[in-house]
Every structure is written in C-alpha cells, then in structure tokens.
Amino acid sequence: MRWRDVKQNRIPEQEPKTKQKQSLPFASHPDKIKAFITDSFLLAMPIFYVVIYLVMGDLKSFNSDMLMGWIYIIVPLGIVNILFYTIAGQTPGMKAYDIKVIDIKTKEKPSFILSFLRFFFFNMTLLTIFGLFISFFRKDNRGIYDILSGTTLIVTKKGQNDTKVL
C-alpha cells in the first residue's frame, strides 16, 4: 500500500488472510467429572441395586458370578446412556452442569452409532486408564473416546430450554 492511497482513502478492501475457525465452547474437566459423578448416582446406582438384589439375588451371588453381573449392569446402562445421547444430547448429570454431547462434524446431537461408539470407547478407556489422561494435554479437552467416536462435550447457554451452542 502506498501512502498517498491511504491518505486519499483509496484503500482497497482487504479480505481476511486467514478465516478464523469458530471455536466451540468445550466443557471443562471439573464440569465433566461432576456430571459423571451425578450420572453415576442417578443412572448407574439404581441399575446396580436392581441387578445385585433383584436379578442376582444377593451380593454373594453377584460375587460368585461377577462377569455375568457386570454384563447385566453394563448393557442396561449402555442402553440408557445411548438413548440419552441420541434423543436429548445429554444425560441428567450433563443437563445439571449445562453440558451437551455433539457430533464434532455436524455440531448436532450424535447419531445412534456415534452414541454407541462413545459409550463403548469410554468403557474401554476406563479399563485402560491411560486414555483418560490424554484430554489433559489437549486444548479442546477431548479424551481418546471422544476422538475415536467423533464426538465432544460442549457448554451450552445457561438458562435456555433449547440448549443451543454458544
């Protein structure tokens, strides 16, 4: 640009050199942990109780056939979580802390397949523990289960019923 062009207001409009990517409001670790603990009590504990005392009979029966007992627990818990992810985009614990699960590509609620993959990879990550720490080294706070399933947790606007992305 030349000085006389600037002085006489003959500056051509410049296009931005780089289009800035719109950043999503990723959920923080403390909120994700609090939502997980809330979901553990609201969703998992009733299933634990029903399986241990109504299906298996008592705690001794559960201890004697623990593999089958855990299958009885994981399957209904998976169904409930997958339905919450697919239908509402959030579990009750996530709703309490204004967090929502979205498909990273479409920015919408995840499909049934993505919800299933997220639940499956999350449980596999819990078994290995290593994958949980990956999210502490990433800017977007996504764990290995979110990366593999193509989902992420975002913060929604507080006080709105439709929970749109910020």
Domain count, the chain: 1
**Beta-carbon count within 10 A of 154 CB:** 22
> Among all chains, which residue has been given the structure tokens 């596999």?
124
C-alpha 121/C-alpha 64 separation (Å) is: 27
Q: Helices 66-87 and 112-128 meet at what angle, rounded to 10?
A: 140
Domain that holds residue 42: 25-155
Let me know if residue 122 belongs to a domain.
yes
Question: What single letter denotes the amino acid at residue 129?
Answer: I
Query: Token pair of 7, please?
Result: 């002085």
93/85 Cα distance (integer angstroms): 12
Domain-located, residue 129: yes
Start-end of H helices in 10-106: 29-39, 45-49, 59-64, 66-87, 92-96
Judge whether 19 lies within some domain.
Answer: no
Q: What is the pTM of this model?
A: 0.76
Q: Which two tokens stand for residue 152?
A: 């992420």
- Sign of the Cα torsion 67, 65, 73, 40 reads negative
Model confidence pLDDT, tens digit, residues 73-96: 999 999 999 999 999 999 999 999
**pLDDT tens digit string along 20-73?**
455 889 998 999 999 999 999 999 999 999 999 999 999 999 999 999 999 999
